[in-house]
Amino acid sequence: MKENAQKDHTVARAILLQKEPGNKLFANSKLHLHVPAGAAQKGGPPTRITLLLSLAMNKPVKKELSMISEVTVTGRMLPIRGVWN
């Protein structure tokens, strides 16, 4: 999980630099991820990245937003598939 958190932080930092070049939150601060012993990982990279960007940009995540996707090794988010109504 530590490696996943580091990767997600890197992707979030890159997205933040594109969207808000003057925002230095990730450059000037340290983040601590606390995972209680035995905790199961909830959500995935898009969830963690969205939450990090919400924190950095001081914008709440929309309640109706779904944060399910996959992230490539180059940091690109892929569209979700197999969603049925």
Q: What is the pTM of this model?
A: 0.65
For 26-53, write each residue's pLDDT tens digit. 887 887 776 666 655 666 777 778 888 8
Could you tell me the residue ranges of all domains in the chain?
Answer: 2-78
Read off the pLDDT of residues 2-19 as tens digits, 9 standing for 90 and up: 677 788 888 888 889 999
β 77-78/70-71 pair status: antiparallel
* Residue 43: closest CA among 57, 56, 61: 61
